[in-house]
């Protein structure tokens, strides 16, 4: 009998390289543009901005850096309040703490798992003057942007769109990341396209992106000597990394189609198991299905841990849903605005308790998918 170590590893979501990446990287080596900045950075910014439909873009070292600079550009400072989705990865809200501002965590709604417009309204009633609202498109599914943007417009508060997981997803025909005052993307190794590590900040307002590039290169003043009049950061993307991104961007739509196909395959495979529900999609948009997820009925004897353990025994990688930020020890004591009124478990907590992320690697073979699906079905 094969043990776990001798079985093929099936990943949650690993990089998929095609070869074009090497062409752009080789150009960087040939021209000796190896250090940060260079032609690949310039082109990647223009190509990504054009794809998304934003006017301008700044290539950065990470999506976290992009969120941090977005907050800086909006003037976030100690004493300010920032609303942010609770059901997300910590990178969405850590930059709030960098600026010594105060996060207020907003619950999810069940239709898309994203920020609840109802909870957002309640947050504004309690804190009418936040500095910004950070909306996350969780697992590649667009949030209810019409409602959220209308609420924020009523209070004249800017929106930062965390589209780190949703590059190529659309809402009412328009790409996510292009709705807010500022949009954020991530090219981490597990994302739909990767640069190995990196991010992008986009905006239709050129002054924001010009300032972002300045701040991300240590805020060096335009003087012959090294002079700095304000605090800067080492946040710029390297020319090598940008070359990988340019090659990956050529295959973004192909990656999305394959991610969507995996979601549909799981959906069909579990359609006859009432205890399993796929993560919901926004009817007003098109998800990129970065990760396919399920929730398990709370009355079922099968738990998410049991599913993950069974997959792990086959050397198959799965993982829990993000633990809500308001439940994280590092954010203990900060306010949380629930979707429901009194007496119900928070939507984000319920999703976390009953959910898990399934292997969503676009390189999975039919044999891989059969093993994943049969392993899960055997528990029910």
CATH at 240: 3.40.640.10
Q: Choose one of 249, 268, 283: the last residue of a domain.
A: 249
How far is the C-alpha of 38 from the C-alpha of 124, rounded, in Å?
Answer: 43
Model confidence pLDDT, tens digit, residues 246-302: 999 999 999 999 999 999 999 999 999 999 999 999 999 999 999 999 999 999 999
Model confidence pLDDT, tens digit, residues 19-59: 999 999 999 889 888 877 899 999 999 999 999 999 999 99
Same domain, yes or no: 199 and 265: no
- Residue 81: inside a domain, yes or no? yes
Reply yes or no on whether the pLDDT at 224 is more than 90: no
- Residue 122: inside a domain, yes or no? yes
Same domain, yes or no: 200 and 87: yes
Q: Choose one of 196, 229, 249: the last residue of a domain.
A: 249
Residue 115 belongs to domain spanning: 20-249
Cα dist from 346 to 32, 123, 244, 248, 265, whole Å: 53, 15, 40, 38, 30
Same domain, yes or no: 98 and 237: yes
At 222 the pLDDT is: 87
Reply yes or no on whether the pLDDT at 1 is more than 60: no
Write down the mean pLDDT value for the chain. Answer: 96
CATH number at residue 318: 3.90.1150.10
Percent of the residues in the chain that have a pLDDT greater than 90, as a whole number: 91
Same domain, yes or no: 111 and 232: yes
Percent of the residues in the chain that have a pLDDT greater than 70, as a whole number: 99
Same domain, yes or no: 149 and 54: yes
Nearest to 273 by CA among 126, 379, 121, 355: 379
- Residue 218: inside a domain, yes or no? yes
At 3 the pLDDT is: 74
Same domain, yes or no: 240 and 256: no
Confidence of residue 14 (pLDDT cuts 50, 70, 90): very high
At 37 the pLDDT is: 84
Same domain, yes or no: 182 and 262: no
Cα dist from 83 to 116, 120, 267, 293, 317, whole Å: 12, 8, 33, 25, 32
Model confidence pLDDT, tens digit, residues 157-167: 999 999 999 99
DSSP state at residue 38: S
Same domain, yes or no: 209 and 352: no
Confidence of residue 2 (pLDDT cuts 50, 70, 90): low
Confidence of residue 321 (pLDDT cuts 50, 70, 90): very high
Same domain, yes or no: 225 and 77: yes
Reply yes or no on whether the pLDDT at 10 is more than 90: yes
Q: Are 135 and 87 in contact (CB under 8 A)?
A: no
220-231 average pLDDT score: 89
Residue 251 in tokens: 């295959």
362-377 average pLDDT score: 98
Residue 49 in tokens: 């901005």
230-254 average pLDDT score: 96
- Residue 158: inside a domain, yes or no? yes
Same domain, yes or no: 28 and 116: yes
At 343 the pLDDT is: 75
Between 7 and 258, residue with greater pLDDT? 258
Work out how many domains the chain is built from and give that number: 2
Confidence of residue 236 (pLDDT cuts 50, 70, 90): very high
DSSP-assigned states of every residue in 81-132: EEEEESSS-GGGTHHHHHTT-EEEEE-B-TTTSSB-HHHHHHHHHHSS--SE
106-132 average pLDDT score: 98
Q: Are 135 and 114 in contact (CB under 8 A)?
A: yes
Q: Choose one of 249, 276, 301: the last residue of a domain.
A: 249
Same domain, yes or no: 262 and 241: no
- Residue 44: inside a domain, yes or no? yes
Between 6 and 154, residue with greater pLDDT? 154
Same domain, yes or no: 37 and 118: yes
């Amino acid at each position: 009998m094969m043990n776990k170590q001798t079985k093929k590893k099936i990943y949650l979501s690993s990089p998929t390289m095609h070869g074009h990446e090497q062409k752009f990287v080789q150009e960087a080596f040939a021209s000796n543009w190896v250090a940060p900045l260079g032609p690949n950075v310039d082109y990647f910014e223009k190509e990504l901005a054009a794809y998304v439909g934003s006017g301008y873009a700044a290539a950065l070292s990470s999506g976290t850096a992009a969120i941090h600079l977005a907050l800086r550009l909006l003037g976030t400072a100690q004493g300010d309040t920032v609303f942010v989705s609770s059901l997300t990865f910590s990178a969405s809200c850590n930059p709030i703490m960098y600026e010594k501002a105060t996060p207020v965590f907003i619950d999810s709604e069940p239709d898309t798992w994203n920020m609840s417009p109802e909870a957002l309204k309640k947050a504004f009633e309690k804190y009418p003057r936040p500095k910004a609202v950070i909306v996350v498109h969780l697992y590649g599914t667009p949030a209810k942007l019409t409602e959220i943007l209308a609420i924020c417009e009523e209070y004249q508060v800017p929106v930062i769109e965390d589209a780190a997981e949703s590059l190529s997803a659309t809402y009412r025909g328009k790409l996510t990341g292009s709705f807010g005052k500022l949009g954020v993307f991530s090219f981490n190794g597990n994302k739909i396209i990767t640069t190995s590590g990196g991010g992008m900040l986009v905006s239709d307002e050129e002054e924001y992106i010009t300032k972002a590039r300045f701040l991300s290169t240590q805020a060096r003043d335009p003087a012959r000597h090294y002079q700095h009049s304000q605090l800067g950061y080492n946040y710029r993307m390297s020319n090598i990394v940008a070359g990988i991104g340019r090659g990956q961007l050529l295959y973004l739509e192909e990656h999305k189609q394959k991610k969507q196909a995996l979601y549909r395959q799981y959906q069909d495979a579990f359609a006859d198991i009432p205890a399993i529900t796929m993560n919901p999609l926004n009817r007003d948009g098109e998800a990129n299905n970065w990760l396919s997820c399920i929730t398990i009925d709370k009355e079922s004897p099968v738990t998410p841990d049991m599913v993950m353990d069974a997959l792990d025994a086959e050397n198959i990688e799965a993982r829990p849903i993000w633990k809500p930020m308001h439940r994280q020890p590092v954010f203990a004591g900060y306010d949380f605005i629930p979707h429901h009124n009194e007496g119900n478990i928070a939507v984000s907590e319920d999703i976390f308790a009953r959910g898990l992320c399934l292997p969503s690697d676009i390189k999975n073979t039919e044999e891989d998918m059969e093993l994943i699906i049969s392993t899960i079905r055997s528990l029910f």
